[in-house]
A and B are shown apart, each in its own frame.
Chain A
Amino acid sequence: MTYLAKPRLHHPTLAKNRVGYTRRDYEGKISTLCAGCGHDSISAAIIQACWELDIEPHRVAKLSGIGCSSKTPDYFLGNSHGFNTVHGRMPSVLTGANLANRELIYLGVSGDGDSASIGLGQFAHVLRRGVNMTYIVENNGVYGLTKGQFSATADKGSKSKRGLANNDTPIDLASLALVMGATYIGRSFSGDKAQLVPLIRGAIAHQGAAVIDVVSPCIAFNNHSGSTKSYDYVREHNEAVNRLDFFPQREEITTEYGEGEVIDVRQHDGSILRLRKLHAEYDPSDRVRAMAYVQEHAARGEVVTGLLYVDNEACDLHQQINTVEHALNTLSAAELCPGSAVLEKINASLR
């Protein structure tokens, strides 16, 4: 945490992307989170991913609820649209916004309290509806703003800073997302940007409900030796099933890979998710196997990370309910009031 604004001066080689912005242009206000907070690393990863994807900042809507994690949209994409909702209600507002204007890129940012406790119902429903969005959970297993109580994602048996053990069963948001039908599910760690940035890029390009559960150590209340969400614990127990390289449609793939090491997943928009296998038997296109795999490893105290599941035939809420192609605010009176003849036709069809 700092009071000093980040100086505007930058490295002489700082590059501009195709839409004319430097990475620094995707930053927001100076963070007021604790020094060393994993959430700040996630913000940096989002900034990096948006810059690399050449996204115009005004094409993004970032929505969040309440909590440390939900403060972070203030610290990135300072020139994008934003909405801080009521606690746990970000998915509803995001769904509404998405239905009204399908032309924006939706970024939901939430935490373990906002998504696994007060907003658990909202979390489940936004996924089963298949809203086209990138839903990032900044998961630290603790209520930081209220001084360190266990959250619903804290592992059973893990200890609080004061030494008390957690007796409740944890909610695994990645497993829940698998059950609820999300079509792009990743898990990552705030301390591993090499993994996290491509996952975010892939999620933004994914045309469906994409969830990334990011373990993000709380430096103030959950980075001690009894914690299972600390930097040390996650680094020791991280089982990355694959490494994702994301290639937007226009990018030529130049990297060489050995035979049988990679799986290519072509998404709707033509982009390619290239997965380098780290666990030979892991298949990210098999939802049922993925659930079992994640659960088996969780039982052993391991944190499975990487792209856990992707459905390249995903379809989103707009396709399911057959809405108009464009944002509602661009519809003209003629389209909104097509006339009595059309009304007659509709009425006739209902008779």
Chain B
Amino acid sequence: MPPGNARMVLKGIGVAPGIAIGKAYRVDRNKVSLVYYYLPSPAQTKREKDRFDAAVDRAEADLKEIRAKMAGEFPEHVHIIDTHIHILRDKMLYDETIRIIEEQQINAEWALRQSLENAQHIFAKIDDEYIRSRFSDVDFVAERVLENLTGQNKQSVAGIRERVIVVAQDLSPADTIQLQVEKTLAIATDMGGKTSHTAIITRSLDIPAVVGLENVYQAVRSGELMVVDGHAGKVIIDPDEELLNYYYERQYQLERYRKEVVRCAELPAETEDGYNIKIQANIELLEEVVAVIDNGAEGVGLYRTEYLYLNLDQPPTEETLFWDYREVAEIIYPEMVTIRTLDLGADKLNTRMRGSTETNPALGLRSIRLCLQEDITFRTQLRAILRVSGITKNIKIMFPMISGVGELRAAKAVLEEVKQSLIKESIEVDENLQVGIMIEVPSAVAVADLLAREVDFFSIGTNDLVQYALAIDRVNENVAHLYEPLHPAILRMIKQAADAGRQAGISVSLCGELAGEPLYIPILLGFELDSLSMNPLAVPRVKKIIRNASIEESKDYLNEVLHFTTAGQINEYLCNLAWRRFREDFELFADEMGNLPAASGNGQ
């Protein structure tokens, strides 16, 4: 435990990093209480509609005022208020309320509640989580109108006078935007999740925030001293001096470390003794390329291409794919982009396969197997990739889930046919296009030497390799504790694949969560890989650790670890190593017991 005591410690979800220490300021956002009644006579209908209209007009005027204020301070968030203004007059809310007043002869509050509930039903049915969660916007708008109808006014966050930690049950986007950065140290709320407006806006404003605390609003009094820890997702209410000093120190250190790591993100990942390894990023969406560049990643080591195929009735067209890949390639140029071909289960690809259920989908018709069967879908994707390769010349292509040489040859044969047909159409393709495979099926490790003769590179995909090698479905909570990335079997397999690649003279990289885990870096270096590919946000810290490491030492660490018998033993060794050899990069992240965040059993 950290030193000292506090009146209360609450756990929530940290959505914006950083530590803030200050006085609490409670913002009352209780929903207005409503009175429902039938209109006394039909003659009242018009008056009731006018009353509703006036309430909407006032809400619109208020929103426009907020918008005008915001346009100066946060022009990038103005669109949120525009959305609200649109919703205010949307037929789903406005026309519907008017209709209900007329039809049911009830008061405006009741009618608005009903149309709100109808809208809620419609939103609840949507698959897309983002769109579903936008119902909160409809809710906030309706609340504003209801406030005007009842004449109940809520406290505004705009009136805050000193620098405080804002504590609320929930904050509307308008509230969050009105928070003046210079007066808001942090935000703590009962509700909200990782994708709430509060989360997005606080991150962009760089204010620490913890949401989903459930009862912080009840627990804290305005003016009380509190700490918001956006890293640990914790709120500490009324800490004693000892604990307070602990957090002041932590705040200072973290800030200093964070600045230094990001400042040096551009420097190459070169060990003290001159070994260079490329640090690349895994991405899934086009928009993530910004994070790739900002965090100093040297290209994209894994572009997952499944996103464009989800929630569609038919696979995307060649043009859609072409433009998507081309944009990524052009932004990343001159660095390379490794595009992994479709890695989906039959259940996700909406084709004639849909509806056929497999008892064991992880071992079923998926990924490259499905592509080899769904020939047209596969060829369309290959055409798009090859066309981009001819223009940008910085593409590599990678087949997932290859289990042996036969499957690899089949995939390469299709690729070659597509290539020839493009050439026949006088469409340029990159003649030097490199073709590689994911090493993620245990059989591929066993025949890595055979596979290495027929490809230009390996990328060891640890997430699936661990799952297949240990026979663990990590989302199955009954066995998730057995998901051990540091299992000696996994390290041996990585070594076997890496050695086979090196002996054949092809490049070998490692992607998957393992690659971005700072604690593992000292031994991963020992495999003498050509590159590591990881979540872009992990890049700066991993690069810094590598710059403090030495390849010769890392080889020794790895040799030592390869003699260990259990994952637990290896994990302990790595924690000790980090503590002993890389203290400055780890001690800030140690938990209150002085332990490093254990190498994750569940891969998170």
> Is B one of A's binding partners?
no
